[in-house]
Amino acid sequence: MTYIIGDIHGEYQKLLDLVAKLPKDAKLIFVGDLIDRGLQSREIVAYIREHNHQVVRGNHEQFMIENGEPFIEALLEDRDADMSNIWIYAGGIETLLSYGLLEKEEDGSMQIVKNLKGLKELQYDIEWMKSLPLYIKMENPYNAELPIVVSHASIGDFWDLEESNPKHFEFYIMTNRNQPSADAPIFNIYGHTNVSEVVIGHNFVSLDTGCGRSDGEGKLSAYCVETQEIVV
């Protein structure tokens, strides 16, 4: 059985709890946004890499790629690191804490730590994130005319852009928050857009049920390709 798992956002225990409910021989595919917000991003990445699970790249992985490397370079060159970029504001502080590269002071402020082991681990995971695909395509057991595409954000209405305009295609597959129209040519399983419960439409499944929310009320959800079962 193949299970697609929604955005985790640093909530390692919720990942372990969900996986414990799935068949032991299940094939797991993740829609990206493994990191940020929760306090155990490093542990999640290590777990997924260790088990060789498939992942598509989310916008938070992209934030880490684009802003993590300059952070590493600044520390190695004893320069001030930029702590005002989009990654930091989107949950990167918690991710850097998980790599041991920040410490929280008694007054609540953050102190950068030049932790060479943490820097090496961060660079190692960034290189892995660079290799992640934008989508995974597979056969649809229920409708051969609508192939399944696992992506981070909704891409059904922009599927034709992959060949005609790859730059715009990458933008939408990372950022689009609209459900696909009924005539989109793929069955799209995606995360990115927070929903209170998994939404299953004619040609899509929206899977991000808020794991990593600051109020702690979010859930981590999985969708089984073969049975259409939802596991929370």
Which pTM was predicted? 0.95
Q: What are the strands of the beta sheet with 222-224, ordered from one edge?
A: 54-55, 27-30, 2-5, 222-224, 230-231
| Residue 99 neighbours by CB under 8 Å, 6+ apart | 41, 42, 115, 118, 119, 121, 122
**Residue keyed to tokens 């051969």:** 144
3-state secondary structure of 171: helix
Residue 216's pLDDT is what?
81
* Mean pLDDT per 10-residue interval, the chain, length 232 residues: 98 98 97 97 98 98 98 95 94 97 87 95 98 98 95 98 97 97 97 97 97 90 97 97
Please give the C-alpha separations between residue 36 and each of 11, 95, 223, in angstroms, as whole numbers. Answer: 9, 5, 23
Residue 217's pLDDT is what?
86
Report the distance separating Cα 67 and Cα 93, nearest Å: 12
3-state secondary structure of 112: strand
Residue 63's pLDDT is what?
98
Asked if 176 and 154 count as a contact pair (C-beta separation under 8 A), the reply is yes
Residue 57's pLDDT is what?
98
